Structure 1
Amino acid sequence: MTESIDTRHGVILYLEDVSVSFSGYKALNNLSLAIDKGELRCLIGPNGAGKTTLMDVITGKTRPDRGSVFLGQDINLLQHDEATIARLGIGRKFQKPSVFPKQTVRDNLALAVQGNRSPWEALWYRPSSVDTDRVASLLETVALDSVAHKLAGGLSHGQKQWLEIGMLLAQEPLLLLIDEPVAGMTQQETERTAQLLQSLVPQRSVVVVEHDMVFVRSIARKVSVLHEGAVLMEGSIDEVQSDSQVREVYLGEAC
């Protein structure tokens, strides 16, 4: 049994002793992790370390064999399905951007802003001044106001990623889970993405899964290293990169 996680000091998410097995293979092995309110955390680790399974457990896609998963101090996420967890304030962005390519950038964000309405309400929906202002604010946040009129399908890869982040922000999440946001981006897009992610805290917590260590260094305030389904170590990027065990299992001497 691992040491209990102290949630008295502003923890937004904690997992304790979480294990997940698939046909005898332990994807997560007594994993414990805590994310603070307003924190930007990077998760790194080799393929098969359990990063995707961890995200799946947090969002309700996968049920663990054992363990506890809480949002804040009193919301047991294991008692809720994926849709409810999203409404509770956890947004997840996958590596491949998912936008409506035949709708404009502005309309994509407008659809996201109205996303919590029932199908009947959406049918008769007309944007209010509050919704219009909200869309304008989101366009500015993700730096897409200059292309608001363009079809989302015509955006660059980086712009599509930013648009999807904006669509998630429209739901006003407490916690954002973002998977490999800079894969396939140009250097300029990568730098802009770093600025965007850093701008999202401390208003919300952000967890980034990433393999690009240069990018991780540019944004990381704290790094958790996963290995064989558990947290191997946590610390600053310098502490992680100088750790001999981390080097052995993941980073290599070239890092």
Structure 2
Amino acid sequence: MTVLDTTREIFRRDQVWPFLAPEHSMVDVSHNMILYVEGLSVSFDGFKALNDLNLYVNDGELRCLIGANGAGKTTLMDVITGKTECDSGSVYFGQTINLLQRSEPEIAQLGIGRKFQKPSVFEAHTVFDNLELSLKADKGIWYTLRVKLNSADIDRIDSILDLIGLKEQRFMLAGALSHGQKQWLEIGMLLASDPRLLLIDEPVAGMTAQETERTAELLTSLAGDRTVIVVEHDMEFVRSIARTVTVLHQGSVLAEGTMDEVQNNRDVIEVYLGEESADARGEEIAAARGERA
């Protein structure tokens, strides 16, 4: 990859870098709640992707969101990160920050990071370089591109490499990593930007059993200092990491509780017995949006 290609990749239109956004005040979690979603509704050509949805997430919690295709999981994450506008409702980060009034770069700067299902890393660069590019900085853009790493930055990258289990691969090209390792690297890239809330979409899709187990350990280790919301279809994986599970159905919260509680919930059982029709609805919504639900 040439310098020009690298520059184009860094500044592609869908890339959100925290240093491009202005500084904002710290999130107020004095009530131990970091995310408030109330009465949220989103429509796509007549389809209710979200329908008067309410969701509350505690600071430092690891929450799992489950539901059939079209249940509203991706749309909810899109609204939280500023990618999609809602028809009605409110979304607050802490007590005072209205996310619906913020742009995508501003939301990233506030401390909300998102990882999509497909890993997005700079494959022609080393693992170390990927983490360096993701470090949070509040200086001017040209200074950021030219600045040399200080000892604190290097120590931070080293600690992230240790956390994601890629210390031995630090100088390996990211494109040479396994699928699971790329997923861990992207989580590390999120951590380098120092987020307070992480939104993780289907982190174990395509992973081996060993990689899945390692990912469970990684995500559970992040909870506490950070808040982690995981969207996942692998129920065994969800059971291994979640204390609280939220089930979405047709754009609303159907049930919430421990994994055992939601699996024994009569409404959840009825919905999953009708999962085929729910999947069909998901395909309709995806067609309306022009993307996968």
The answer, yes or no, to whether TM exceeds 0.5 is: yes
Map residues 54-203 of structure 1 onto 2, 5 A cutoff.
Answer: 54-113=76-135, 116-203=138-225
- The answer to whether 1:46 aligns with 2:68 is yes
The structural deviation recorded for 1:113 is: 1.2
Q: Please state if 1:20 is matched with 2:47.
A: no
Q: How far apart in 2 are the matches of 1:117 and 1:157?
A: 33
1:9 aligned residue (31, 34, 40): 31
Cross-structure match for 2:24: none
Q: Secondary structure at the match of 1:87?
A: helix
Query: Do the aligned partners of 1:94 and 1:179 also contact (CA within 8 Å) in 2?
Result: yes
Which residue number corresponds to residue 12 of structure 2?
A: none
The one-letter code matched in structure 1 to 2:55 is L
RMSD value, Cα: 1.5
- How many residues were matched structurally? 247
Structure-2 change in CA distance of 1:90 and 1:114 (3 Å)? closer
| Alpha-carbon contact 1:241-1:251 (below 8 Å) kept | no
Gaps of 5+ in 1: 1-6
Q: CA deviation at 1:16?
A: 0.3
1:212 aligns with 2:212: no
Q: Secondary structure at the match of 2:253?
A: strand
Judge conservation of contact 2:114–2:199 (CA < 8 Å) in 1.
yes
Q: Unmatched 5+ residue regions in structure 2?
A: 1-28, 276-293
Is the 8 Å Cα contact of residues 114 and 122 (structure 1) preserved in structure 2?
no
**Partner amino acid, structure 2, of 1:128:** N
Per the alignment, residue 52 of structure 2 pairs with 30
Is 1:247–2:269 an aligned residue pair?
A: yes
How far, CA to CA, are the matches of 2:164 and 2:138 in structure 1? 21
CA contact (8 A) 1:180 1:210 kept: yes
CA distance in 1, matches of 2:122, 2:50: 34
In structure 2, what is the Cα distance between the partners aligned to 1:234 and 1:47? 18
The Cα of 1:118 is off from its aligned counterpart by: 3.1
Secondary structure at 1:169's aligned position in 2? helix
Aligned-partner Cα distance in 1 for 2:108–2:216: 24
Shift in alpha-carbon separation, 1:161–1:183, aligned structure 2, 3 A: same
The CA distance in 2 between the partners of 1:251 and 1:37, in whole Å, is: 34
Kindly provide the CA deviation profile for residues 231-254 of structure 1, in whole angstroms up to 9, marking residues without a partner as x. 00100000011112101212789x
| 1:238 corresponds to which of 244, 260, 266 | 260
Letter in 2 for 1:249: V
**DSSP 3-state at the match of 2:35:** strand
Q: CA deviation at 1:170?
A: 0.6
2:42 & 2:274 partners in 1: Cα distance? 28
Given residue 220 of structure 1, which amino acid in structure 2 is its aligned partner? A
* Letter of the structure 1 residue corresponding to residue 212 of structure 2: T
Q: 1:252 to 1:118 in 2, by over 3 A?
A: same
Q: Distance in 1 between matches of 2:192 and 2:115?
A: 13
Measure how far apart 1:73 and its partner are. 0.3
Give percent identity, aligned residues only: 65
More helix by share: 2
Q: Is the 8 A contact 2:49 2:251 kept in 1?
A: yes
TM-score (norm 1): 0.94
The verdict on how the C-alpha distance between 1:121 and 1:114 changes in structure 2, with shifts beyond 3 A counting, is farther
